A and B are shown apart, each in its own frame.
Chain A
Amino acid sequence: GAGVSQSPRYKVAKRGQDVALRCDPISGHVSLFWYQQALGQGPEFLTYFQNEAQLDKSGLPSDRFFAERPEGSVSTLKIQRTQQEDSAVYLCASSLRQGPIYGYTFGSGTRLTVV
């Protein structure tokens, strides 16, 4: 597609429920990123993939967060046993190659609300 597509657009989860958020990057983009954006804050880095390899997961807040990109295209961010502090917008971005000079294209995000 022409842009980065994320689904669902909105997700309401009961506390303790598992959720899976999907990201379809731009075709051919090697690099893929997940960010978390709390209300009123800038996006915070979660994890980074180059093709199918997860090269950096230092931003994942806990072991309840897990991301994968098994075939080097679509990626899924999974959150187990959701808690209220997980409520945020989760953004996915892709880039043609590694490195910020190539420019990142962001999706519109998934707004997760944990009740």
Chain B
Amino acid sequence: DAKTTQPNSMESNEEEPVHLPCNHSTISGTDYIHWYRQLPSQGPEYVIHGLTSNVNNRMASLAIAEDRKSSTLILHRATLRDAAVYYCILGSTNSGYALNFGKGTSLLVTP
């Protein structure tokens, strides 16, 4: 399985943009890049996913490098409720259906 590398933790000020990086140098052509987040005492929550092009939704934006070996999840204005562990995961219908979570990035948001 293709692996991802994320920083263990990051810190941001409230109402500032946050850029969460993810490296996936062994990504295959059929792998989608998925982001989930997990708030304390809750199950993971889908954030966004993409294949090649940048993606935007109401929660976040996903910027994918041209060579697809890295990506960045962008939270445009962090709020205290965005404090969570963010997981970057690769997956495709070809490689199976189980999401392989790593340890993720723990995001701390300070007022």
Select from chain B the residue with minimum beta-carbon distance to A43. B101
B89 cross-chain contacts in A, Cβ below 8 A: 100
A/B interface sample: 16 pairs, CB < 8 A: A41-B103, A42-B103, A42-B104, A44-B101, A48-B97, A48-B98, A56-B96, A91-B43, A98-B93, A100-B93, A100-B97, A101-B92, A104-B44, A104-B46, A105-B46, A108-B42
Interface of B is mostly: loop
Docked complex Cα distance between A100 and B93 (Å): 7
B45 interface contact, C-beta 8 A: yes
A1 interface contact, C-beta 8 A: no
B49 interface contact, C-beta 8 A: yes
Apart from A48-B97, A101-B93, list 20 A-B contacts with CB within 8 A.
A4-B43, A33-B97, A42-B101, A43-B99, A44-B101, A48-B98, A56-B96, A56-B97, A56-B98, A91-B43, A91-B44, A98-B93, A99-B93, A100-B49, A100-B89, A100-B92, A101-B92, A105-B46, A106-B43, A109-B43
**Measuring CB to CB, which residues of chain A are less than 8 angstroms from any residue of chain B?**
4, 31, 33, 35, 41-45, 48, 56, 59, 91, 93, 95, 98-101, 103-109
Question: How many residues of chain B are within 8 Å of chain A by beta carbon?
Answer: 25
Most B-side CB within 10 Å, residue of A98, A99, A108: A99
> Which residues of B63-111 are within 8 A (CB) of A?
85, 87, 89, 91-93, 96-104
In angstroms, how far is the closest chain B Cβ from the Cβ of A69? 15
Q: Is the CB of B102 within 8 A of A98?
A: no
Identify A45's interface contact among B49, B93, B100, B103, CB under 8 A.
Answer: B100
Q: Is the CB of B99 within 8 A of A100?
A: yes
